[in-house]
Amino acid sequence: MHGIAYGSIAQLSPRAWLLVQAAVGLRVKSDVIDHMTYNELLLAPVLALSTLCLPATAQRVANTSVQYGKSFRSTGLDPRPTAGPHLISAVDRGVAFYTEDFSGGAIPLGWTNVDDLTPAADDPVFFQWSNNPNAVDPASGGFDEIDSFDGAGASNGYLWANSDRGLAVAPATEHLTRLTTSAIDCSGQSTVLFSMHSTIGVFNNDANEFVKLRVSTNLFDWEEFFPFPCLEAGSPAPPCSRFSANPQTVEVNITSVAANQTTVYLQFEWQGDWEYYWAIDDLSLSPLPDNEIVMNYGYQSTTGLGEEYGRIPQSQLPVTINLGAELLDFGALDQTNVVVDISYADTDGNEVFAVSTDVGTLSSQETVITDEDVILPALPTGNFTGTYSVTSDQILMDGNISDNTRLRSFEVTNDIYALDNVGNHPAGITEVLTPTGTGSFEGNTEDVKLMTMYYINAPYTVTGLEIGLDGNSDPGGAIVISILDTTDVLANPSVVNLPLAESDFHILTQAEITARKVTIEFPFPVTLDVGAYYAVASLYADGNADVYVVDDETVPQPALASVLWLPFDPDNQFLYGGNGTAWAIRMTSDPNISVHEYNELEGLTMFPNPTNGILRINSVKSEKYTVEVQNMLGAKVMTNVFTGNIVLDLAGFADGVYSVRVSNGTLSFVQRITLN
């Protein structure tokens, strides 16, 4: 094994810690949009937690529970985080002894369907039958992922409850919807597994508290199960979300109440306020498989706080990388000698580092998260793919070997730092990309700021940003790039207009849109100290010329890893966490882009270079120019105005490399000068 690992099974993994941080955040509900104001950000308890995690230069607030509004409709562009991990049905679940596919044209006879809270004068929320997968669209809130019910048997019939009801604001009273089956015979069944295909979206009430599968043998005493334990209102931390998969295979072990019982009732209970909808189909009861160990997900984080950077410059590689996986023993029997192996290999298949975690015995229905900090070896540039696998004494009898392995990857680069991993995800993983931009949010077409967080582990000179463009962008749209300190942004969102570095307007061309990316330079390189910063793309539509940036939703990210700022909110200073998963806004330290792309002003010469102090600038034209001299930390050390020619005296400054920018107000010329 290469590399050194320490630690074992975590009591509270980085992923679990993210959930704790989100839980102490502050939620604020508006009938148009949910947000946190400046004062609320200062009061949020999570701020106190975050200050323990980062250097003082640029502190990060982790997973403040900020949310975007339900009626804040996008044009089919969904800025939510990706849904969390979902169990994959095993191919060998045993023969079902009860099924219901709702193909009978109505709710089955003998079932009851009530709403026990909504007043008689208001619209109740009942389950209703449909065989039209698109019937749910009015309750979808404009989100593509849930604008139809995608269950395989939906066209033959399914049931759904519409919590939204077309209301413009939340109702005064919550609904309490209860759909109860007729009696089911489970006699002779020593274990009972309930499964269904389902889709649900929540807005005000967490599903892990208010969405239940209830089981009874007498209609009076009920045992409650929560089929969506990682479905939360607000802006949940990955791997949780506000929306389930569509469809999600829900599997619940109800053996404790249903085994060997001649009369069993199932009840689907939903206490909601103003949620989206809940659809169910293809119900079944079957025996549990004897052996079924599942790896729900694997994760890699160079920050140890959950961010999974897709591309990392060699200069920013940390000493350690945090690796782990979540395991579930879904079988009826215990799993013994459980081991999680994680191995990272280069493109030639050579292992470069690895770690093995001895879990021991995993009891039936037990979940455990492994958590290891692995010391990274010196890595060359290139792609590295991690294979996460689980074994046990019973693995050869496992009901579904396809869910015993997960993959993750990252690239080590010379100069590109990217949270997203567009184009680099391992083979076999479906890349999930969505666009976000000037056409995504009502009333916001100018100065829409998309912000991606980067941890700087060693001083890093940023020359510009590379932006991944969606093909729906139009020529003529504009982008301004900037760098912001996270401490400033999260303490006072108004400082989005006080950047550490900022570019001129860049007008998009068709060639850049066709290439799906554009690299925009800063007038002067800026050197960032150790800390956390936001790389910002400010988007401007010119009439109908919209700009869309790619959002990589393939891998869950913490809520504030990508942040949205909108100019036309009530107070003009709101941040929305969790609205992007990994916007393709990448830092670059390429030293060439700031030189050749800004040298548009012709007829200028600077000499001598290197210089011991005296620098002459000559122009063939008698124009008025401004000149700025900036050190490699991004600080301006000299400014002047001249016509034709000028002599600058730099002798009083420290030896090193300086950027000298000359502009006539329209065009610019930049040259690096070495002072020694």
pLDDT at 523: 84
Domain presence at residue 86: no
| pLDDT band for position 526 (cuts 50, 70, 90) | very high
Domain count, the chain: 4
Of the ranges 8-22, 371-385, 419-433, the best mean pLDDT one? 371-385
Where a domain ends, among 543, 560, 593?
593
Mean pLDDT of 550-556: 90
pLDDT at 513: 93
pLDDT at 575: 63
pLDDT at 237: 62
| pLDDT band for position 149 (cuts 50, 70, 90) | very high
Each residue's pLDDT tens digit, 206-244: 998 999 999 999 999 999 999 998 888 876 665 678 889
More confident residue, 133 or 82: 133
Mean pLDDT of 272-281: 96
More confident residue, 600 or 155: 155
Closest CA to 177 of 223, 129, 233, 114: 114
Classified as helix, coil or strand, 470 is coil
Residue 365: is its pLDDT beyond 80?
yes
Domain presence at residue 40: no
Domain presence at residue 378: yes
| pLDDT band for position 42 (cuts 50, 70, 90) | very low
The CATH number linked to 391 is: 2.60.40.10
pLDDT at 127: 98
Are 259 and 270 found together in one domain? yes
pLDDT at 615: 95
| Domain of 619, in residue numbers | 598-675
More confident residue, 243 or 78: 243
Where a domain ends, among 366, 381, 413?
413
More confident residue, 597 or 623: 623
Mean pLDDT of the chain: 82
Mean pLDDT of 154-163: 97
pLDDT at 497: 66
Residue 56: is its pLDDT beyond 60?
no
Are 266 and 329 found together in one domain? no
pLDDT at 221: 97
Each residue's pLDDT tens digit, 82-111: 233 333 333 345 689 999 999 999 999 999
Residue 66: is its pLDDT beyond 80?
no
The CATH number linked to 503 is: 2.60.120
Q: Are 299 and 308 in contact (CB under 8 A)?
A: yes
Are 281 and 380 found together in one domain? no
Q: In what order do the strands lie in the sheet with 585-588?
A: 416-417, 585-588, 460-468, 517-528
| pLDDT band for position 476 (cuts 50, 70, 90) | confident
Each residue's pLDDT tens digit, 242-257: 889 899 999 899 999 9
Q: Are 463 and 485 in contact (CB under 8 A)?
A: no
Are 242 and 385 found together in one domain? no
Tell me which of 185-194, 443-452, 561-570, 639-648 is least confident: 561-570
Are 143 and 232 found together in one domain? yes
Residue 633: is its pLDDT beyond 90?
no
pLDDT at 44: 29
Domain presence at residue 23: no
Q: How many CB atoms lie within 10 A of CB 501?
A: 23
Tell me which of 15-24, 27-36, 100-109, 451-460 is least confident: 27-36
- CA angle 168/172/175 to nearest 5° reads 95
Mean pLDDT of 315-322: 96
Domain presence at residue 13: no
Residue 592: is its pLDDT beyond 90?
no
Model confidence, pTM: 0.69
- CA angle 239/371/378 to nearest 5° reads 105
Each residue's pLDDT tens digit, 378-410: 999 999 999 999 999 999 999 888 899 999 999
Q: How many CB atoms lie within 10 A of CB 406?
A: 21
Q: Which residues, listed in sequence order, are joined to residue 180 by a DSSP beta bridge?
A: 112, 267
- Helices within 163-287 (DSSP H only): 207-210, 255-258
Are 202 and 122 found together in one domain? yes
| pLDDT band for position 480 (cuts 50, 70, 90) | confident
- CA angle 537/539/542 to nearest 5° reads 155
pLDDT at 579: 61
Instruction: Determine what percent of the chain is predicted with pLDDT higher than 70.
Output: 81
Are 484 and 584 found together in one domain? yes
Domain presence at residue 300: yes
**Residues 235, 238, 239, 242, Cα dihedral to 10°:** 10
pLDDT at 20: 28
| Residue 273, both tokens | 């306020």
Instruction: Determine what percent of the chain is predicted with pLDDT higher than 90.
Output: 56
Residue 15: is its pLDDT beyond 90?
no
Decide: residue 654, CB within 10 A, 0-12 exposed, 13-18 middle, 19+ buried: exposed
More confident residue, 566 or 328: 328
Are 140 and 242 found together in one domain? yes
Are 402 and 370 found together in one domain? yes
Strands (E), 226-273: 248-253, 265-272
Are 157 and 259 found together in one domain? yes
Are 589 and 615 found together in one domain? no
Q: In what order do the strands lie in the sheet with 656-663?
A: 636-643, 624-631, 656-663, 668-675
Mean pLDDT of 312-339: 95
What is the phi/psi pair of residue 574, to 5°? -110, 145
Classified as helix, coil or strand, 507 is strand
pLDDT at 599: 53
The CATH number linked to 280 is: 2.60.120.260
Determine how β-strand 460-468 pairs with β-strand 585-588: antiparallel
pLDDT at 537: 96
How far are the Cα atoms of 114, 207, 428 from residue 179, in angstroms, in the given order? 7, 16, 39
Are 589 and 605 found together in one domain? no
pLDDT at 238: 59
Mean pLDDT of 416-421: 98
Domain presence at residue 317: no
Q: Which residues, listed in sequence order, are joined to residue 360 by a DSSP beta bridge?
A: 338
Domain presence at residue 418: no
More confident residue, 447 or 46: 447
**Alpha-carbon distance 562 to 572, whole Å?**
19
Of the ranges 161-165, 599-603, 668-672, the best mean pLDDT one? 161-165
